[in-house]
Amino acid sequence: MPVSLNEGRLIFQFPDDAIVSQYDDWAFYRNQFNSCFGGTKAIDLLYVDAEATWLIEVKDYRTNRRTKAIDLGSEVATKVRDTLAGLVAAKSNANEHQERRWARQALAKRRINVVLHLEQPIKHSKLFPRVVDPANLKIKLGQTLSAVDAHPKIVDQHNLSANMSWTVTG
């Protein structure tokens, strides 16, 4: 049976043997790591497959406008950085055995893939404008995150890459 995770109004379905978790809900992140360094940020989903670790940030602007002042690319880059630091700490210091194991498995992979799952209004208007041009954002993320993933992906539920073994509905 596939593993399903809800992120807002979106439902992510992963293969039944998936190592997948909502990282920002980990007890380690919430209770131990989040207060470090004056506060940290976290990506939404952590998925480990046979080849790579996937850091998936989910943004859905179909019904709500973006209100944060920080640039979306900078926000994603900060979340990736803080999540990687959190995984390193969780590998040894998480109180929950499952979270320690997930962190070890995530850090053992040879490749880290960064994915921004970005839903924007199909028909944009003044009330619900396009938040960002995905092509420009992809260039910025590629430059900012080049040491982690030189080719980050920006997808929505209708254009997942062929090497992504999950589906999204909602």
User: How do residues 21-75 score in pLDDT, each as one tens digit?
Assistant: 999 999 999 999 999 998 999 999 999 999 999 999 999 988 777 777 688 999 9
Q: Is the pLDDT of residue 101 over 90?
A: yes
Contact (Cβ atoms closer than 8 angstroms) between residue 51 and residue 106: no
How many structural domains compose the chain? 1
For the cut 80, the answer to whether the pLDDT of residue 170 exceeds it is: yes
Residues 6+ apart with CB under 8 A from 26: 90, 94, 96, 99
19-21 vs 45-48, strand pairing mode: antiparallel
Burial zone of 162 (CB within 10 Å; 0-12 exposed, 13-18 middle, 19+ buried): exposed
Using alpha carbons only, give the angle 6, 108, 156 rounded to the nearest 5 degrees: 30
Structural domain containing residue 66:
3-169
For residue 160, what pLDDT is reported?
Answer: 96
If residue 77 lies in a helix (H) or strand (E), which one and from where to where? helix 72-93
Calculate mean pLDDT across residues 98-107. Answer: 98
pLDDT at 129: 65
CB 18 within 8 A of CB 47: yes
User: What does the pLDDT read at residue 121?
Assistant: 82
Q: Is the pLDDT of residue 166 over 90?
A: yes
Q: Residue 64 and residue 142: Cα distance in Å, rounded?
A: 26
Give the mean pLDDT of 152-164.
95
Span 153-160, mean pLDDT?
Answer: 96
Each residue of 104-145: pLDDT tens digit?
999 999 999 999 999 988 777 676 667 788 899 999 999 999
Interval 139-166 mean pLDDT: 95
Model confidence, pTM:
0.93
pLDDT above 80: residue 6:
yes
